[in-house]
Amino acid sequence: MKNFFLHVKVLILKEFLSTAKDPRTRAILIAPVIVQTILFGHAATFNLENVPYALLDLNRSKISTEFVAKLEGGKVFRRVKTLSGTNEVASAIDSGDSVLVLTISPDFDREILSGRVGKIQIVSDGRNTMTAAVASGYLGRIVDEFGSTNKIRLETVAWFNPNLITRWNFLPGLMGLLSLVQVMLLAGLSVAREREQGTFDQLLVTPLSPTEILIGKSVIPVVVGIFQATLVFLICRFVFEIPFAGTLTPLYATLFVFTLSCTGLGLSISAISNSMQQVMVYCFVLILPMVLLSGFATPVANMPEILQIVTYIDPLRFALDSLRRIYLEGCTIAEVAFNFVPMLILAAITLPLAAWLFRNKIS
C-alpha cells in the first residue's frame, strides 16, 4: 500500500511538472478560461440593454409624444427609424435594423380622452424569438405603467414566426452549428492522424503537389458537413414541421461556402499540430467562442461594440444569419450575398495558409 501511494504521488508530480513546463499547454490552460469567461459574461446574456426599434406615429399628439418619451427615457429602446407610412414597416423588419416596429393608431389620443382604449401595435422580428419575446415584455411593462392613468391596448404581431416558437429560431441555426463542429474536426484530424502514423510525410514526397493534397483533404469534410446539414433540414421540415419559406439553391450555396471556410480553419489547425490530441484541443478552444459570438443564442447587437467587431471573423455568424433568413423569410442569394463575403475571405486566407504549412512541414 505504501508503494502504491508513492507511485501515485510520483506520477502526479510528473504530470504536474510536464504540464507546467510546456508553454503551449500553459497557454491552453489559462488563456481560454479568461477569454471564454469574458465572452460568457458579455455575449451569453438574455438581458436586453439595446433594443433598436422603428416608430410609426400616425397620431402625432401630445399623448403619443409623452408615451414615446417614456419609452425612450429608459435607454433600452433606441429609435433607429421614424417611419412615415405603413408601407415602410416591412422594410424596417426585413433589413434587420429594427427588432420592433411600434405603430401608434391615428385616433390614439381621442380614444384615451374619451375613456376608451388607445391602440398600439408591435410588429416584431420572429426570426429571433428570444429577442422579440423579451423586448415585447419590456414594452408591455412600460405600457402598463403608462396605462395606469391612460387606457392602452397593446397588439403584438411577430413576423416570420407568428407564435414565437423557439425551435423555429434554433433548429435552422443547427444546420450551421453542427456543420462547424464536424467539419473542423474532420479536416483537422485527417492530417494529424496521418502525421502520427507517419504516412503524411510519405504523401508529401509523392508527385502530388500540396495544393492537390489540400483539395483532396477538403472534399470529405465539405461533403460530410453538407450531408449533416441536410439531415437537420429534413428533421426541421418533416419532423418539427417548420415551414420552409425559401428555396434550396441559396440554402446549399450558403452551406457550401460556410463548410469551405470551416475546412480551411480545420486544415490550418491540423498543419500546425503534432498530434490528434492537439487538434481536438485547438478545435474546441475555437468552437466555443465562435458559437458564443455567432448570435446563435443571443443577438450580436446586444454585445459590446468591441465584440461586435470581433464577430466579423466568425463565419458561423454569417452562416446563421443567412440560413435563418433563407429558411424563415425566403431570402434569395442576392439578399444574403453580403454574408458570403467574410466566409469567402476566410476560406481564401486559411486554405492557402494550410497548403503553405504543408510545404513548411517538409523542411
Q: What is the mean pLDDT of the chain?
A: 79
Distance CA 26, CA 58 (A): 61
What is each CA distance from 187 to 119, 273, 291, in whole angstroms? 56, 12, 19
Write out the three cell numbers for 307: 465584440
Tell whether the model's pLDDT for residue 43 goes beyond 70: no
Tell whether the model's pLDDT for residue 181 goes beyond 70: yes
Mean predicted confidence (pLDDT) in 333-355: 90
Tell whether the model's pLDDT for residue 272 goes beyond 80: yes
Radius of gyration of the chain (CA): 26
Find, among 69, 119, 128, 51, the residue nearest to 294 by Cα: 128
- Write the single-letter amino acid at 260: L
Three-state SS sequence of the chain: CHHHHHHHHHHHHHHHHHHHHCHHHHHHHHHHHHHHHHHHHHCCCCCCCCEEEEEEECCCCHHHHHHHHHHHHCCCEEEEEECCCHHHHHHHHHCCCCCEEEEECCCHHHHHHCCCCEEEEEEEECCCHHHHHHHHHHHHHHHHHHCCCCCEEEEEEEECCCCCCHHHHHHHHHHHHHHHHHHHHHHHHHHHHHHHHCHHHHHHCCCCCHHHHHHHHHHHHHHHHHHHHHHHHHHHHHHCCCCCCCCHHHHHHHHHHHHHHHHHHHHHHHHCCCCHHHHHHHHHHHHHHHHHHCCCCCCHHHCCHHHHHHHHHCHHHHHHHHHHHHHHHCCCCHHHHHHHHHHHHHHHHHHHHHHHHHHHHHC
Helix axes 315-324, 248-271, angle to 10 degrees: 170
Q: What is the pLDDT of residue 110?
A: 86
Tell whether the model's pLDDT for residue 147 goes beyond 70: no
Backbone angles phi, psi at 194, to 5 degrees: -70, -35
Q: Render pLDDT for 114-128 as a digit per residue (tens, 0 to 9).
A: 878 888 888 887 776
Q: What is the pLDDT of residue 183?
A: 86
Q: What is the pLDDT of residue 154?
A: 66
Q: What is the pLDDT of residue 362?
A: 43
Split at pLDDT 50, 70, 90, the class of 141 is: confident
Find, among 260, 230, 262, the residue nearest to 248 by Cα: 230
Split at pLDDT 50, 70, 90, the class of 363 is: very low
Tell whether the model's pLDDT for residue 343 goes beyond 90: yes
User: CA 31 from chain center: how many Å?
Assistant: 22
Higher pLDDT, 22 or 194: 194
117 touches 153 (CB < 8 A) = yes
Q: What is the pLDDT of residue 319?
A: 93
Give ranges for CATH 3.40.1710.10 in the chain: 51-159
Q: Render pLDDT for 20-40 as a digit per residue (tens, 0 to 9).
A: 676 655 665 566 556 655 555
**For the chain, what percent of residues have pLDDT higher than 70?**
77
**For the chain, what percent of residues have pLDDT higher than 90?**
10
Q: Render pLDDT for 225-255 as a digit per residue (tens, 0 to 9).
A: 888 888 888 888 888 888 898 899 999 999 9
Name the range with the highest mean pLDDT among 113-117, 214-218, 256-260, 263-267: 256-260
Tell whether the model's pLDDT for residue 102 goes beyond 80: yes
Q: Render pLDDT for 304-322 as a digit per residue (tens, 0 to 9).
A: 888 888 889 899 999 998 9
Dihedral sign computed on CA atoms, order 94, 97, 100, 104: negative
Tell whether the model's pLDDT for residue 83 goes beyond 50: yes
The 10 Å CB-count burial string (b at 16+, else e) for 314-347 is bbbbbbbbbbbbbbbbebeeebbeebbebbeebb
The correct CATH number of 51-159 out of 3.40.1710.10, 3.30.342.10, 3.90.650.10, 3.40.50.720 is: 3.40.1710.10
164 touches 129 (CB < 8 A) = yes
The pTM of the full predicted model, rounded to 2 decimals, is 0.66
Q: What is the pLDDT of residue 9?
A: 67
Mean predicted confidence (pLDDT) in 38-49: 55
Cβ neighbours, 10 Å, residue 174: 20
> Lowest-confidence range among 162-166, 283-287, 328-332?
162-166
Higher pLDDT, 318 or 215: 318
